[in-house]
Amino acid sequence: MSLFFAFFTTALSYNIYRSDCVAVLDAYKYDLTRFTGQDAFIPSTDYATYYIRLCPDPTMTGSTMDVFVMQCPKKAGSLCRNIITQNSLDYKPRNAKNFSNGIIYYADSEPFSDDNGRTFRTLDIEFDLECDPSVTTNDTVELFKQWKFTIDDTSRAGFITVRGSHESACPTIVPSPTPTPPYEPDCTYIDRIDTNTSFGISGDLKNLNDGPFGVRAPLKIADTDYVLYYQACERMLCPPTYTCGTSGYSSAWLCQINGSTRFCTSYGVGTEDVDFVPIDSSQLELGMKLKMSDRKTGKSVELTLTCATSEAYPEGHIDWPDTATIFEGKTLEMRGGASEMCFKPIPTTTPQPDSVCHFKTSMSNRTVDFDLEDLNLGSTGWEKPVQIVGDRDHPDSHLIYQPCGSMICPADTYCAGDEDAAIWLCYTDDGIKQCRGYGLYKNNVSLSLYIPSTIDSGVQAKYTGDLKRAGDVIFSCDPSIPKHQLELPETVTLSGRTLSIFIKTSDVCSTSIKPDDQNKAKISPGAYFLIILAIVVVLYLSIGVLVQYFMKGIVRVPNYEFWGQVGACISAAFSFIFSCGKTTEIALESKYDKI
């Protein structure tokens, strides 16, 4: 089994080194290799039987070597599926202020279905290990009997949590890893429908990434089985348990297992200039194509993404195909679906604000000028007990919210390694006070009208946290609430990993645009011309009269004779036009020569 390494700089400003069941966070090394090859723990629920490992088993062959969680549904005819594999596992300290407290390693699963794609579910895992030098046994079956574990496999967004204590969670001090060079591509995209610019495709490819070694997708190419490790907007080193043909980073490792040989080839390396364009800009429903290439191998990959065929397919995941093709031995071509590629309302654009918390827009002589920072409450934020409504049971909780800022993990509370959040949802589980961040300060908030075409619909603030958690805060207008105050709800909704909060405030109430602003906005180029012309005429008359007065001692229009002739000409023209060319006595008495 090959050794693999990874260095990354995380949002908490420490470097990470990863190896097989080894992690170095800053200068703290956690070694879990003592669990390598140990027997799997086999818990069971009404739905399925599970095989759970703390480390991979090098004695296994094929695709099961790097499986941490296998699920075997009890329904007749169902096949076992690999839920969590090593590529998705990542690490973080149990306490961001005290790395010696222990370690958390966790992973997101890919969606799976039991009803031929009508509905989908996910089942994530979190190993939460606290440092305890007195617990030294390596027998995982015995440890699982002592540790607390929870399996929720009936919810749309299920989870497995394992919480316990062990000597392996006590770190040793080592030199801090060297960080990798920064990689900061712009992976956001937006394309509006030509015939309806309020809708289109909008999102961020980073949401489709997964774990330090990408998404694992089994593929069949020309009747041969492969495994693709893919990051839509990130780079990764050689996947765990494999040998790769090139050193360095790739965004698409295509791997083949042949007995004990596990070999990967890079088909594309992400660049900061992301090549992600519509198939046809006039027909966005055809999808968008993401292209990457690798100059070292001469290979490339083209992934065409369209709207996920099922409305139930979870966001943040790619619905991978079963098959792909390699064109001329060089280009890996495949198609996939993602909810991010479906048409949706495009957030209302707003001029560059003073800060990320400022939103301003106008529509139909009404305007909304809203700044989240005005709603901040000291350094502690707003707090209120809330009931949770969602797709699974959840204990009543305590909501803590700071609209534009951050709050540290509350005292005497376990926050699963999160710090500095704008949204905390706190509760007590098995006597332990816990909080989860649904809007981490390290991730910027985005603001838009709740309904893009309706200015009085309110303003939506979107926050993001770790493990694909998200917070949607919808501010609705309530003129009775004093300015820069808000009213938290009694109930919040937790659907999957998204926490939705409806808040009342007068700060998002629209106001009429001032008449002065309206008039100013209506001044046209023709109006400016007339204003300038009027000024010129006034100056001409004023200066001309003064010159006549001082030079001749009389007060009259300048160039009096000239303007008299102009008046006579205009009079003659009117007479000629309206009398059908017949000359009148008045015209004949003018100073024109008589013929």
Asked whether residue 527 carries a pLDDT value surpassing 80, the answer given is no
Helix (H) and strand (E) counts in the chain = 5, 38
Q: What is the pLDDT of residue 4?
A: 37
Cα separations in angstroms, 558 against 536, 548, 555, 570, 591:
14, 7, 9, 19, 21
Position 65 scores a pLDDT of: 80
Q: How confident is the model at residue 11 (pLDDT cuts 50, 70, 90)?
A: very low
- The size of the chain, in residues, is 595
Q: What angle do CA 294, 295, 297 make, to 5 degrees?
A: 70
Count CA atoms closer than 13 A to 414's CA, side-chain side: 19
Residue 2: the pLDDT is: 39
Per-residue pLDDT tens digits for 467-525:
788 999 999 999 999 999 999 999 999 988 889 999 999 999 999 877 655 455 456 77
For the chain, how far is it from start to end, CA to CA, in angstroms? 117
Structure confidence by residue, pLDDT tens digits, 546-570: 777 677 777 677 777 777 777 777 7
Tokens of 393: 């049971």
For residue 340 the two structure tokens come to 């991010």
Sign of torsion over alpha carbons 492, 493, 499, 505: negative
Hey, what amino acid is at 150?
Answer: T
Contact in structure between 168 and 318 (CB atoms under 8 Å): no
pLDDT, position 265: 97
Residue 594 pLDDT: 46
pLDDT at 587: 46
SS3 readout for 133-169:
CCCCCCCHHHHHHHCEEEEECCCCEEEEEEEEEEHHH
pLDDT, tens digit, 9 for 90 and up, residues 14-70: 788 888 889 999 999 999 999 988 889 999 999 999 999 998 887 776 677 889 999
Residue scoring higher pLDDT (325 or 97): 325
From edge to edge, which strands make up the β-sheet containing 243-244? 215-221, 224-230, 252-258, 261-266, 243-244
Range in 136-145, 219-228, 464-473, 531-540 the model is least confident about: 531-540
CATH architecture of structural domain 188-345: Distorted Sandwich (2.70)
Cα–Cα distance, 262 to 60 (Å, whole number): 13
Give the pLDDT confidence of 572-584 residue by residue, as tens digits.
777 767 666 555 5
**How far, in Å, CA of 203 to CA of 459, rounded?**
19
CA 86, CA 89: separation in Å to the nearest integer?
Answer: 5
Which neighbouring-strand residues pair with 336? 305
Listed residue (502, 506, 429) closest to 472, CA to CA: 502
**Residue 260's pLDDT band (cuts 50, 70, 90):** confident
Q: DSSP state, 44?
A: B
Distances (CA, A) of 315 to 118, 205, 223, 576: 15, 11, 30, 79
Taking only the tens place, the pLDDT of each residue in 271-320 is 888 899 899 888 889 999 999 999 999 999 999 999 987 777 888 899 99
Averaged pLDDT, 341-360: 72
Q: Report whether 439 contacts 404 (CB < 8 A).
A: no
Q: What is the mean pLDDT of residues 3-14?
A: 44
Quick one: pLDDT at residue 592?
A: 47
pLDDT of 13: 63
Query: What gap in Å lies between CA 507 and CA 529, rounded to an integer?
Result: 40
Q: How far is CA 207 from the centre of its chain?
A: 6
Pairing of strands 288-294, 470-477: unpaired
**Tens of pLDDT along 56-70?**
887 776 677 889 999
Band of the pLDDT at 542, cuts 50, 70, 90?
confident
Tokens 């602003």 belong to 517
Quick one: average pLDDT of 196-224?
Answer: 90
In sequence order, what DSSP letters do the residues of 524-554 get, joined into one string? Answer: -HHHHHHHHHHHHHHHHHHHHHHHHHHHHS-
Q: Which residue has the higher pLDDT, 467 or 149?
A: 149
Torsion 531-536-537-539 (CA) sign: positive
CA distance 527 to 154: 68
Q: What is the percent of the chain where pLDDT is above 90? A: 48
CATH number attached to the domain at 358-512: 2.70.130.10
CA geometry: angle 137, 142, 148, nearest 5 deg: 105
pLDDT of residue 539: 79
Nearest CA-CA partner of 67 in 176, 232, 227: 227
Q: Are 287 and 337 in contact (CB under 8 A)?
A: no
Q: Judge whether residue 7 has pLDDT over 50.
A: no
- H helices of 325-469, in order, are none
Query: Smallest Cα–Cα separation from 125: which of 159, 82, 151?
Result: 159
pLDDT at 390 over 60: yes
Q: Mean per-residue pLDDT for 89-108?
A: 92
Which segments of the chain belong to CATH 2.70.130.10?
16-173, 188-345, 358-512
**Residue 284, token pair as written in the block:** 């966005």
Residues 91-118: what's their mean pLDDT? 91
Instruction: Report the percent of the chain where pLDDT is more than 70.
Output: 90
Q: Is the pLDDT of residue 74 over 60?
A: yes
Average pLDDT, stretch 425-452? 86
The CATH class that applies to domain 16-173 reads mainly beta
Mean pLDDT (whole number) for 138-144: 91
Instruction: Write the DSSP assignment of 246-302 as a string of letters.
Output: S-S-BSEEEEEEETTEEEEEE--B--SS-EEEES-TT-GGG-EEEEEEETTTTEEEE
pLDDT band at 454 (very low <50, low <70, confident <90, very high): confident
Query: What is the structure's pLDDT at 465?
Result: 85
Over residues 61-89, the mean pLDDT reads 89
Please give the pLDDT value at position 6: 39
Asked if 232 contacts 217 with a C-beta cutoff of 8 angstroms, the reply is: no
Beta strands in 364-512 (DSSP E): 366-371, 382-390, 397-401, 421-429, 432-440, 446-451, 454-464, 470-477, 491-495, 498-505, 511-512
**pLDDT higher at 18 or 330:** 330
